[in-house]
Amino acid sequence: MANIEELIEESAALHRHLCPRQVLGIRMGLLGGELLGLDVPQKNKRLLTVVETDGCGADGIAVATNCWVGRRTMRILDFGKVAATFIDRKTERAFRVHPNPAARKLAPEYAPDAKNHWEAYLLAYQRMPTDELLIAEPVTIAFSLEKLWSKNGKRVTCAICGEEIINEREVVQDGIILCRSCAGERYYYHADDIGNTITLPMETLLL
C-alpha cells in the first residue's frame, strides 16, 4: 500500500496543484480500502467507487484507489457532496465515507503553524486521526452491480439515430432497439428541439 506522502505527490502532479479536497479524497480512498480489506491503490478492478461530486476530491480518491472513470471502476453521481461509496465487487460489501463536519473547526489544532484557514485545512487533513477526520458507515447498494458492469463485447445499434450502444445500455420499445436519448432520456437537445428539454432522473446517471 502506498503511503500518504507518495499519494499526495502523485495527486498534486496530476492536478497541477495540491488542495485540501485532494487530501480528503486520498484519506477517504485509503479508508475505503481498509474497511473492505482491499489493498489500495488496487491492481485489478475489484474495487468500485461511486463519488458524489466531481473535482479535486475525486482526483484524490482516484489516486488513492486506482479507480478511474476510464477503467470503469469509478462512477460520478453528482450530489454536490465530498463523499464516496467504496464497493467490493466480489462480496458486494460497501462503505460510504465522508468528512466529519467538525473537521474544519478542529483543523487549527492540528496546524497551528498555518498562515490562513486554507493552509490549516491542507495541513490538518494530512495530520488528523482518521476517526476525527472522516465518518464511515456500511451501506447497501441500491442498484445491480451485474447490470452496472454489463458484459464485455456487447454492442447494438440504435434504430433511430444509428449510433452504437455498448455495455447493455439500450432500451427496447415495442421490440425496437433504441439508445436512451432516442427513447426520451436526453440530457441535451438539438437546435430544433428548443422548448422540448427532458430532465434526466439523477439515479439513471449511474447506468
The tens digit of pLDDT for each residue in 21-43 reads 999 999 999 999 999 999 999 99
User: How high is the pLDDT of residue 195?
Assistant: 56
User: How high is the pLDDT of residue 196?
Assistant: 55
Q: Which of 20, 29, 17, 24 is nearest to 67 (CA)?
A: 29
Sequence-distant (≥ 6) Cβ neighbours of residue 118 within 8 angstroms:
20
User: How high is the pLDDT of residue 92?
Assistant: 96
Give the DSSP letter of residue 199: P
What is residue 97's three-state secondary structure?
strand
User: How high is the pLDDT of residue 204?
Assistant: 55
- Does this model's pTM top 0.85? My answer is yes
Among 3.30.980.10, 3.40.50.10470, 3.90.1150.110, 3.30.1330.130, what is the CATH number of 4-144? 3.30.1330.130
User: How high is the pLDDT of residue 190?
Assistant: 80
User: How high is the pLDDT of residue 151?
Assistant: 84
Sign of CA pseudo-dihedral 108, 113, 114, 120: negative
Q: Name the segment(s) of the chain with CATH classification 3.30.1330.130.
A: 4-144
Q: Mark the ranges of the chain whose per-residue pLDDT is less than 70.
A: 1-2, 193-207
Contact 97, 32 (CB under 8 A): yes
Q: pLDDT tens digit string along 165-188?
A: 999 999 999 999 999 999 999 888
User: How high is the pLDDT of residue 33?
Assistant: 98
